[in-house]
Amino acid sequence: MKLITEQQVISSPFKIVLVVADGLGGLPQHPGGKTELEAANTPNLDRLANEGTLGLLDPIGPGITPGSGPAHLALFGYDPIENNVGRGLLSALGLDFELQDGDIAARGNFCTLDKSGNVTDRRAGRVPTEISNALIEKLQNELDLGEIQVHLRIEKDHRFLLVLRGQGLSDALQDTDPQITGVPPRKCQPLNEQAARTARLVDEFSDKARRILADQKQANGVLLRGFSRKLPLPTMTDRFGLRSAALADYPMYRGLSKLVGMDIISREGDLVKRAGVLSERRDDYDFFFFHFKKTDATGEDGNFEAKVEAVELLDGVMPDIMASKPDVLLVTGDHSTPAVMATHSWHPVPLLLWGRHVRTDANHHFGETAALTGGLGRMPMMHMLPIALAHAGKLTKFGA
């Protein structure tokens, strides 16, 4: 089904709160067992599931495992395939680096190369930020690409942002990160003729970086991926009439929020303090995005029990979130990160919808199996937002 909301948006006083438990979807440890969400003791989420309705969201498409960028865009009601957010752009957004039109951004990793130039560690032993910061400063000072400006910023540990600025650059480039060890970094492959010069510049950057880093033991090479440009997305206000705000700590999620025009209203402190901001700022916004990272981090660690605890931690803060009196509440993930896989997966993500005019279903618990008989059925993730808008009285009738 197509989204046809843009012409249909009206204003209403009703507030939408979207709680994203990153990587929420899971898998049982044994066939027929419970997923992390199902194994967790979640009295608050269960009560909301009882009063509300469940569904399953497919972030991108059948069998497609999403990165966090596209998955969040889908949660925000954007077509994640049409609006493909590159890793470089995400890094720039997360670092508050203001990309200009024509800039090419890429995500860089310091890596370890052996004497024959093969990658032995794609993350340079997760070189600590203090060291990588000094290396980036060295590269920034010494590396020269002539008329092309080079901008470098450390994200964290071995991860950095590269931005090339100059005339006639293209982002139609393949990654230089080979994704495996035992082989050299790839030559940068242009995806079309116009990108050939930029590909040569990227290789020149990699070669010069390697020479400058030659005395390093761990971080003596660079891998680049996700070449991308500034993406001119219409804001959520433009598209849906939503004054929207994000409570998100991690740079990438803050960056994604800013990309769609959200204000960042996070506060330092624990989850309860953060949830308090929802009440304080209730009148200022129509839509709140509350991001919770721990479900993904524990899933990525492959720690089933820790992910169960993370879910329980979120459940414990639900009363504080509900204290802000949302009219429509959505609790879901951006993708699945089953602990048994220790990585993102393609499995659909459970959704809990609570609020005005919800048609309840027979479920009393929030979980993947219950969601199979949820009142919302299974749908592309990008369809969730229009449904939330409808429950919040923000969409008019189509036709007479």
The bridge status of strand 149-156 relative to strand 159-165 is: antiparallel
Q: Which of residues 287-316 bind a copy of itself (CB under 8 A)?
A: none
- Regarding 81 and contact with a copy of itself (CB under 8 A), the answer is yes
Partner residues linked to 321 by β-bridges: none
Indicate the residue among 271 and 341 with the shorter CB distance to a copy of itself. 341
User: How far is Cα 210 from Cα 153, in angstroms, rounded to an integer?
Assistant: 17
- Regarding 104 and contact with a copy of itself (CB under 8 A), the answer is no
Q: Near a copy of itself by CB under 8 A, which window of 3-11, 146-154, 194-202, 207-215? A: 3-11
In this structure, what are the phi and psi dihedrals at residue 248, rounded to the nearest 5 degrees? Answer: -145, 135
- Regarding 196 and contact with a copy of itself (CB under 8 A), the answer is no
Q: Look-up: residue for tokens 């395939």?
A: 81
- Regarding 69 and contact with a copy of itself (CB under 8 A), the answer is yes
Choose which of 16, 17, 46, 70 interacts with a copy of itself (CB under 8 A).
70
Distance in Å, CB of 321 to a copy of itself, minimum: 19
User: How far is Cα 75 from Cα 157, in angstroms, rounded to an integer?
Assistant: 29
In single-letter form, the type of residue at position 173 comes to L
- Regarding 31 and contact with a copy of itself (CB under 8 A), the answer is yes
- Regarding 398 and contact with a copy of itself (CB under 8 A), the answer is yes
In which element (H, E) is residue 289 found?
strand 287-292
- Regarding 56 and contact with a copy of itself (CB under 8 A), the answer is yes
- Regarding 231 and contact with a copy of itself (CB under 8 A), the answer is no
- Regarding 65 and contact with a copy of itself (CB under 8 A), the answer is yes
Indicate the residue among 80 and 185 with the shorter CB distance to a copy of itself. 80
User: How far is Cα 250 from Cα 257, in angstroms, rounded to an integer?
Assistant: 11
Structure-token pair, residue 335: 């993708």
- Regarding 400 and contact with a copy of itself (CB under 8 A), the answer is yes
Choose which of 15, 37, 46, 67 interacts with a copy of itself (CB under 8 A).
67
Indicate the residue among 290 and 354 with the shorter CB distance to a copy of itself. 354
Indicate the residue among 275 and 387 with the shorter CB distance to a copy of itself. 387
Distance in Å, CB of 229 to a copy of itself, minimum: 15
Q: Which of residues 361-380 bind a copy of itself (CB under 8 A)?
A: 361-362, 368-369, 372-375, 377-380
The bridge status of strand 119-121 relative to strand 221-228 is: unpaired
Partner residues linked to 57 by β-bridges: 349, 379
Q: What is the DSSP annotation of 8-59?
A: GB---S--EEEEEETTBB---SSTTS--HHHHS--HHHHHHHHHSEEEEEES
Q: Which of 338, 342, 318 is nearest to 52 (CA)?
A: 318
Structure-token pair, residue 176: 């230089």
State in Å, rounded, how far the first CA of the chain is from the last one: 20
Indicate the residue among 113 and 331 with the shorter CB distance to a copy of itself. 331
Q: Which of residues 105-124 bind a copy of itself (CB under 8 A)?
A: 107
Distance in Å, CB of 62 to a copy of itself, minimum: 4
Structure-token pair, residue 94: 């997360």
Indicate the residue among 185 and 348 with the shorter CB distance to a copy of itself. 348
Distance in Å, CB of 267 to a copy of itself, minimum: 27
Q: Which of 225, 124, 118 is nearest to 180 (CA)?
A: 118
- Regarding 358 and contact with a copy of itself (CB under 8 A), the answer is yes
